[in-house]
């Protein structure tokens, strides 16, 4: 068989039935399942080959396990003979995995997949009452361990699912105290009413320690609301030092940066920790303001930015507003130098442009006095990555296989969005992990794509390789050969590498973009009644009363350690 890999990984298919199964419905072939497979189909399990799947779907797993343990009378497989896998001779006409079209398929619509008929597989044969009846489940059986010789585990039809080596805790029954209850409510993201209901039910079951209050969740934000105020349709923090001290961390200006961005519902000002060790803290919020110079000036004045003088991160539109630049496609759109975006003859040729030493209003697209110092601006690696992806996709011809492959990979995106290269971060990561996409590109497109992936991996993330200057220059040259226009984001990479921080992943604007998703639950919960109580209630969910190390399963959300 050809040495190249299959279009679809064999592990995306079930070893027993051959159907596509996603990660959440995929199970490992345990010794119990292998034994049930051998007894039911009278054949050995051989899933150690590279050309055969190594997993089993949830349906087959439940049916085999229920049959061998006699859980129910109707627990059995739907077929008498399973999927038989053989090594493929080629990828074009004899590969089950390459010929199955599963792009855009989820667990709900997987029934629409048309599976190919190829010589390398034998599809399952259904049961027949006369020829292929349902085999009876064994009364008892043993499972031989592969790694431990002469040792086995014995099961019987009436065995329970309990672990034989389980030992009960010596300290006895544990009652939940108030601190543990609060942390549980935070981890489950419960509302005030739901937190009271949980506490009440646990109290009825006698699972709470004596004296544990369950009605305090109504006023859980009381200690934090004193640090917020609301005026001029802006909810803002009046004492950042006091708020962070209440959350259990000392405020050091060098360890935090200010993120400003707007979503479809609101304009947010958030403090992000450098290195993303702590949770993001909202210090400004407005549901009725847009990204304008006047509104930005009000927000910075409310939170007393001049007193703290944090570093600023955000997209290039926010950066242009904070530096007093004119928005839109302007001639001089760079806030560092006097780069001429209209002089295309000098693009990709001239690197050193005159530096803007004075941001004087009325001169070269400067409209207002800058609100922040230029040295406090942090480059947005996420938006630079989105810009590079957009420039690359816009040069793909809509008739090529690569463009059609992107459309099939993201069926939820409209034709206009794919044509303009409008992708988000998770979608770009998915494309970068797809090795087949690189194989269908032309030589020039492939060079640009490889260079783009190298920049994202070796420069725009947490790791900066020693040869990052050459990596960035190779990407710019590849985009030039592809025929891309010099955008502002390409210009920043081409002319101002010294302006980028050492670790872009530690100060990435992607952490701020995630905050939009984190606070969206709180926004929908208050249903338009946005006030200081909402931000205080959100900050309450960021706290912890007990260390997370004591729990076996921990919450993935960022918290402030006690």
Last residue of a domain, one of 461, 483, 499: 499
Decide if 119 is inside a domain: yes
**116 and 208 inside one domain:** no
**192 and 97 inside one domain:** no
**123 and 14 inside one domain:** yes
| Sign of torsion over alpha carbons 46, 49, 53, 56 | positive
The H-or-E segment that residue 472 falls in is helix 468-482
Q: Give, to the nearest 10 degrees, the angle between helix 381-394 and helix 488-495.
A: 120
Q: What is the DSSP string of 158-191?
A: T--S--TT----TT----B-HHHHHHHHHHTT--
Last residue of a domain, one of 469, 499, 529: 499
Decide if 433 is inside a domain: yes
Q: Name 431's Cβ contacts closer than 8 Å, sequence gap at least 6.
A: 406, 409, 423, 437
Decide if 413 is inside a domain: yes
Paired tokens of 73: 């009378």
**135 and 204 inside one domain:** no
**30 and 148 inside one domain:** yes
**136 and 205 inside one domain:** no
- Residue among 410, 395, 405 nearest 490 (CA): 395
pLDDT value of position 147: 39
Round to whole Å and give the CA distance between 547 and 183. Answer: 10
Query: What is the extent of the structural domain holding 50?
Result: 10-156
Paired tokens of 326: 């004119």
pLDDT value of position 152: 37
Q: Using CA atoms in the order 19, 24, 28, 30, what is the torsion angle rounded to 10 degrees? A: -110
**100 and 62 inside one domain:** yes
Round to whole Å and give the CA distance between 44 and 60. Answer: 16
**196 and 111 inside one domain:** no
Last residue of a domain, one of 452, 474, 499: 499
Largest CA distance in the chain: 92
**489 and 397 inside one domain:** yes
Round to whole Å and give the CA distance between 548 and 553. Answer: 9
pLDDT value of position 528: 66
**151 and 182 inside one domain:** no
Q: 59: how many CB neighbours lie within 10 A of its CB?
A: 17
pLDDT value of position 526: 82
Q: Name 231's Cβ contacts closer than 8 Å, sequence gap at least 6.
A: 302
Decide if 550 is inside a domain: no
Q: Which residues of the chain fall short of a pLDDT of 50? A: 1-2, 145-170
pLDDT value of position 418: 92
For the chain, what is the domain count?
3
Decide if 248 is inside a domain: no
**144 and 31 inside one domain:** yes
Decide if 539 is inside a domain: no
Decide if 559 is inside a domain: no
**485 and 386 inside one domain:** yes
Q: What is the DSSP string of 12-51?
A: GB-TTT--B--GGGEEE--HHHHHHHHHHHSS-----STT
Decide if 535 is inside a domain: no
pLDDT value of position 479: 95
């Amino acid at each position: 068989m050809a040495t190249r890999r299959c279009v679809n990984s064999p592990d995306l298919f079930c070893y027993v039935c051959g159907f596509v199964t996603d990660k959440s419905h995929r199970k490992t072939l345990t010794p119990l399942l292998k034994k049930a497979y051998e007894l039911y189909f009278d054949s050995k399990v051989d899933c150690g080959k590279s050309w055969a799947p190594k997993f089993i779907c949830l349906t087959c797993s439940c049916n085999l396990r229920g049959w061998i343990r006699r859980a129910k009378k109707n627990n059995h497989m739907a077929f008498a003979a399973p999927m038989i896998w053989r090594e493929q001779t080629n990828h074009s006409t004899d590969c089950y995995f390459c010929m199955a079209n599963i792009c855009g398929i989820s667990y709900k619509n997987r029934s629409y997949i048309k599976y190919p008929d190829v010589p390398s597989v034998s599809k399952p044969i259904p049961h027949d009452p006369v020829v292929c009846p349902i085999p009876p489940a064994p009364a008892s059986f043993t499972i031989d361990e592969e790694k431990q010789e002469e040792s086995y585990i014995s099961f019987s039809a009436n065995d329970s699912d309990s672990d034989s080596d389980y030992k009960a805790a010596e300290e006895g029954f544990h009652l939940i105290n108030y601190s543990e209850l609060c942390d549980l409510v935070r981890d489950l993201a419960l509302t005030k009413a739901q937190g009271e209901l949980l506490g009440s039910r646990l109290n009825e079951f006698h699972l709470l320690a004596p004296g544990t209050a369950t009605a305090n969740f109504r006023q859980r934000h009381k200690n934090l609301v004193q640090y917020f105020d609301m005026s001029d349709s802006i909810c803002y923090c009046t004492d950042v030092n006091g708020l962070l001290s209440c959350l259990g961390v000392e405020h050091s200006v060098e360890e935090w940066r200010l993120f400003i961005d707007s979503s479809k519902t609101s304009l947010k000002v958030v403090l992000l920790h450098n290195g993303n060790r702590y949770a993001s803290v909202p210090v400004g919020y407005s549901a009725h303001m847009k990204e304008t110079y006047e509104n930005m000036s009000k927000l910075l004045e409310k939170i007393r930015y001049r007193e703290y003088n944090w570093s600023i991160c955000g997209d290039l539109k926010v950066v242009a507003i904070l530096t007093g630049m004119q928005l839109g496609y302007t001639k001089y759109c760079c806030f560092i130098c006097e780069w001429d975006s209209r002089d295309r003859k000098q693009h990709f040729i001239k690197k050193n442009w005159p530096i803007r030493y004075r941001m004087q209003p009325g001169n070269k697209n400067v409209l207002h006095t800058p609100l922040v110092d230029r040295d406090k601006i942090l480059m947005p690696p996420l938006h630079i990555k989105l810009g590079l992806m957009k420039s690359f996709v816009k040069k793909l011809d809509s008739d090529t296989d690569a463009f059609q492959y992107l459309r099939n990979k993201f069926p939820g995106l409209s034709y206009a969005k794919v044509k303009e290269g409008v992708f988000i971060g998770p979608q770009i990561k998915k494309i970068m992990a797809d090795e087949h996409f690189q194989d269908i590109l032309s030589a020039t497109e492939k060079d640009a794509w490889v260079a783009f992936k190298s920049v994202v991996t070796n420069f725009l993330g947490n790791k900066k390789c020693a040869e990052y200057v050459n990596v960035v220059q190779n990407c710019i040259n590849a985009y030039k050969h592809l025929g891309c226009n010099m955008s502002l984001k390409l210009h920043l990479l081409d002319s101002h590498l010294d302006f980028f921080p050492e670790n872009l992943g530690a100060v990435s604007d992607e952490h701020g973009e995630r905050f939009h998703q984190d606070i969206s639950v709180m926004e929908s919960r208050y249903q338009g009644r946005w006030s200081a109580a909402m931000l205080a209630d959100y900050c309450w969910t960021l706290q912890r009363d007990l260390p997370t190390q004591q729990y076996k399963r921990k919450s993935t959300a960022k918290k402030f350690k006690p």
